[in-house]
Amino acid sequence: MVSRSYSNLLELASGETPSFGRMGRRIPRIMTVAGIMSDFDDEQESGVSKGLVAKRLLSTMQERGLSPDFVLCIGDDRSDEDMFEVITSSLEGPSIAPRAEVFACTVGKKPSKAKYYLDDTVEIVRLMQGLASVSEQTVPV
C-alpha cells in the first residue's frame, strides 16, 4: 500500500496523472502534499513517516529533473510534524527551486513546526478553491 500511495503522490506532484485534473495542466511542477498522505497515519506500524515520504518524493522529483516552485503541506496532528520539518529544511537544499514558495500549515492554532495555520477544514477548502481560481486566471492552458 505504501509504494502504491507513493507512486500516486509522485504522479500527482509531477502532473503525470489525469486525476490531477485541470489544476495539474495549469500549474507546472506543483507539489501539493496535503491530506493525501493520510494513508500514512499508521506510521508507527508501517515504519514510514510522512516526513520520510515527503523527503523521498522531493528527491525522486529532483532525480527526474523536476524542481517544485510551490509546496503546500497541510496537517492536523503530530504525525505531520516530520513532514513540516522536511519541507521547511528542503529550502536549504537543491530539491526545491531557489525561489520556491513553501507553506507548511497546521489545522488549528497550536505549537507546531508549521509556520502557518488554518482554523478548520472550511479554511482549507477556501484556500484550495482560491489557488484553483488564481491558477485559472493567470496561467494559460
Domain that holds residue 86: 2-138
- Position of cell 492536523? 76
Integer CA distances (angstroms), 49 to 22, 78, 116, in order: 29, 11, 21
Query: Higher model confidence: residue 69 or residue 140?
Result: 69
Integer CA distances (angstroms), 133 to 6, 33, 62, 98, in order: 27, 19, 28, 25
Query: Higher model confidence: residue 141 or residue 93?
Result: 93
Distance, in Å, from the CA atom of 112 to the CA atom of 78, rounded to the nearest integer, reads: 8
How many domains in the chain? 1
pLDDT of residue 104: 93
pLDDT in tens, 22-72: 444 444 444 444 444 555 555 555 667 888 888 888 888 888 888 888 888
CATH number, domain of 48, equals 3.40.50
Distance, in Å, from the CA atom of 105 to the CA atom of 116, rounded to the nearest integer, reads: 5
pLDDT in tens, 94-130: 778 788 888 999 999 999 999 999 999 999 989 988 8
pTM of the model: 0.69
Give the model's confidence band at 137: pLDDT under 50 very low, under 70 low, under 90 confident, else very high. Answer: low
The three cell numbers of residue 39 are 494513508
